[in-house]
Chain A
Amino acid sequence: GDSVTQMEGPVTLSEEAFLTINCTYTATGYPSLFWYVQYPGEGLQLLLKATKADDKGSNKGFEATYRKETTSFHLEKGSVQVSDSAVYFCALSEDYGQNFVFGPGTRLSVLP
């Protein structure tokens, strides 16, 4: 079945550092790929998405590119802020949103 693998956390960075959170997937078809973010005490929020190979999703300074050849969707941000501290989930969806598969999440802590 489909699956999503993320780098293990927690990830701790200083403010203004560069962020990469790795995500790779296995899927039988051509899924859409997502990054969701969960701030403390809240539900998940969609951060960005990409629906086909070579698409780049971006939002709030975060970017991720759909790499079909490496089955990856790594999340990057050039300069993190304390307010970016959260848990980040990579996810995929086949069947046009009928069934999502989430990765285990990566906790990011940004120190001032």
Chain B
Amino acid sequence: DADVTQTPRNRITKTGKRIMLECSQTKGHDRMYWYRQDPGLGLQLIYYSFDVKDINKGEISDGYSVSRQAQAKFSLSLESAIPNQTALYFCATSERGSPDTQYFGPGTRLTVL
């Protein structure tokens, strides 16, 4: 079984809809991250969480919110999706003792029409 899982893997939605992307991990890591990937732009950090009560904005947090329901679960929400949020979204984890090594989920491809 994969250590970092994301659901759904693919989603097509319409402008204005609320969308939630979920991430679960079995690695026991404290730190979790949400990135989006756009062609030619690499990965951009949306939000990160160092533990259940510590959530921080990344460089592109506008239009997104997150919830750390438990150490193993970190959800990303788009309250009112817009077409320029069409992208590939990745969840990642890292452990407190080795924070500079991140483990990525397989990604969620989101299309907003």
Contact = CB atoms under 8 A, between A and B. Distances in A.
Interface of A: 4, 32, 34, 36, 41-46, 49, 51, 89, 93, 96-100, 102-105
B106 A45 contact: no
Given A44-B90, A97-B94, A4 B42 contact: yes
Contacts of B40: 104-105
A102 B104 contact: no
Interface residues of B, number: 23
Report which residue of A36, A51, A100, A105 has the largest number of chain B beta carbons within 10 angstroms of its beta carbon.
A100
Closest A-B pairs by Cβ, 6 of them: A97-B99, A43-B104, A102-B42, A97-B100, A102-B43, A44-B104
Interface of B: 4, 31, 40-45, 48, 58, 90, 92, 94, 98-107
B43 A89 contact: yes
Contacts of B44: 102
Report which residue of B58, B94, B102, B103 has the largest number of chain A beta carbons within 10 angstroms of its beta carbon.
B102
Contact of B99 (A41, A89, A96): A96
A89 B35 CA distance: 14
A107 B99 CA distance: 26
Given A42-B106, A43-B106, A43-B107, A105 B100 contact: no
A76 B105 CA distance: 26
Given A43-B90, A43-B107, A100 B102 contact: yes
B45 A43 contact: no
A103 B43 CA distance: 8
B6 to A, nearest CB: 8
A34 B43 contact: no
A36 B41 CA distance: 15
Contact of A93 (B31, B41, B43, B100): B100
